[in-house]
Amino acid sequence: MTKLRTLRTLQVETIEPGLIKVMFNRPERRNALNTATCEDLRDVFGPLALTPGDLRCVILSGAGDKAFSAGGDLKEREGMTDDEWRLQHAVIEESAYAILNSSVPVIAAVNGVAFGGGCELALCCDFILAVTTASFALPEVRRGIMPGAGGTQNLARAVGERRAKQIILSGQPFCAYEAYGWGMINEVLEPDELIPRALEIARTIAANAPIAVRQAKKAIHQGLQTDLTSALLIEVQAYERMISTEDRHEGVRAFNEKRAPVFKGR
């Protein structure tokens, strides 16, 4: 049975053991990111870096059928002093980094507009699914600022330096099919297919050995930040972590006994 937990601006739904769906829950504001949203994100995702417990996969999406998130709430920011803006942006950074540093896989299910900070948070996830009507943009330069929640780095790693410069320096929006062609998103789906497909992938991930999944994610993420020789060392160190686990023994035993493995995350 699903369980719902509503924070100030997020809805957290436990789909089944090990799998949750986190929803931006301000549909009347196109799920714009205010301070409370980012504090809620920080609270939900922060522990997942080091203490994920039994959680095995997370889906991040938006309430309603119009927007994943339209980005930072500029109405809230109206009249802020420079210091207030800096402090508020630090909270945005913390929320983005909490998603990025999650040891548990996070799937972005983009159900509509993903502009500015909304696009950046989607890019902080491990991969992105999007509806056919989704649109993306990093339009910050049109407001005298620039992406500051990982956008300049995550986008360039997804689509390449030259494409990222074109997107960020122009601020122009682009559609889901363009994002798919550039390698930014993994699949383009009809609206009624989005969450079922995200759940299908999440359940597949959740059925795998959780320590192995987390270590593989770590090896990919950290390895891409360095040279190949160092990355191969990161990979083998991650591999070594699993040799003595119960899950490794269970996986081999289940294969030889011709049955599905039962992984316990230890």
Which of 140, 178, 190, 240 is an active site residue? 140
Please tell me the distance from the alpha carbon of residue 223 to that of residue 226, in angstroms, as a whole number. 6
Q: Provide the angle, in degrees to the nearest 10, between the axes of the packed helices 82-100 and 117-124.
A: 30
Dihedral sign for Cα atoms in the order 46, 32, 180, 146: negative
Tell me if 71 sits within 8 A of 116, measured CB to CB.
yes
Tell me if 154 sits within 8 A of 124, measured CB to CB.
yes
What residue has token string 């090990």?
18
* Bridge partners, residue 135, by sequence: 113, 175
Please tell me the distance from the alpha carbon of residue 30 to that of residue 92, in angstroms, as a whole number. 17
Please tell me the distance from the alpha carbon of residue 63 to that of residue 48, in angstroms, as a whole number. 23
Q: Is 266 exposed, middle or buried (0-12, 13-18, 19+ CB in 10 A)?
A: exposed
Q: Is 193 part of the annotated catalytic residue set?
A: no
Which of 84, 120, 187, 257 is an active site residue? 120
Q: Provide the angle, in degrees to the nearest 10, between the axes of the packed helices 35-45 and 82-100.
A: 30
DSSP 19: E
Degrees (nearest 5) of the Cα angle 176, 147, 50?
90
Q: Is 140 part of the annotated catalytic residue set?
A: yes
Q: Which residues are catalytic?
A: 120, 140
